[in-house]
Amino acid sequence: MKTLENVIGELCKIILPINDEIFFGNQKSSIAICTLSSISLLKEISGSELMKKIVLAGRLLSENKGIDSLVRYAITNDRIKTIILCGKDVIGHKSGLSLLALYENGIDNNGRIVGSHSPDPVLTVTKDEVATFRNKVKILDMMGETNLEKISQAVDSIS
């Protein structure tokens, strides 16, 4: 089953390439923005003045590999203290809802995100890494928000 999923994932990369994954901004900021599946919002943010106020902007498309990468990056980057979760969630994968479930509930002994309703919310990060993430980072839930001005106002309220 995992092999089929990997093949499908690789086919999706070829058929629907999404090159823009992450944009870096002010390396002194402690705020990151995750636009979930809203690639146009990610591009809008990347070309805006908001990049001077945030450490990075990126996307999150999957409830497993994507969240693994996000958790590992956040715990190894000392600057990141807040993640603004905005944009449209991924239909089917529900990666945003899975990230919130991880933040609230953690993972079970099999690496499954407790309370997630995604198809395959199994992570490779350890319970210790998840605990570090949950203690280190605050998530501001603005899921569904795609208005750059409102997101910018949220950044200003945190700064």
Residue 114 has pLDDT above 90, yes or no: yes
**Torsion (CA) 38, 17, 12, 121 in degrees, nearest 10:** -40
Domains of the chain (ranges, CATH numbers): 19-158 (3.40.50)
Q: Are 45 and 23 in contact (CB under 8 A)?
A: yes
Task: Round to whole Å and give the CA distance between 9 and 126.
Answer: 24
pLDDT bracket for residue 19 (50, 70, 90):
low
User: Helix, strand or coil for residue 75?
Assistant: helix
Q: Tens digit of pLDDT for each residue in 69-99? A: 999 999 999 899 999 999 999 888 899 999 9
pLDDT bracket for residue 1 (50, 70, 90):
very low
Task: Round to whole Å and give the CA distance between 139 and 159.
Answer: 14
Q: pTM for the whole thing?
A: 0.86
- Residue among 148, 129, 151, 20 at smallest CA distance from 82: 151
Residue 4 has pLDDT above 70, yes or no: no
Residue 14 has pLDDT above 70, yes or no: no
Structure tokens at 51: 């990049």
Average pLDDT score, the chain: 89
Task: Round to whole Å and give the CA distance between 82 and 90.
Answer: 21
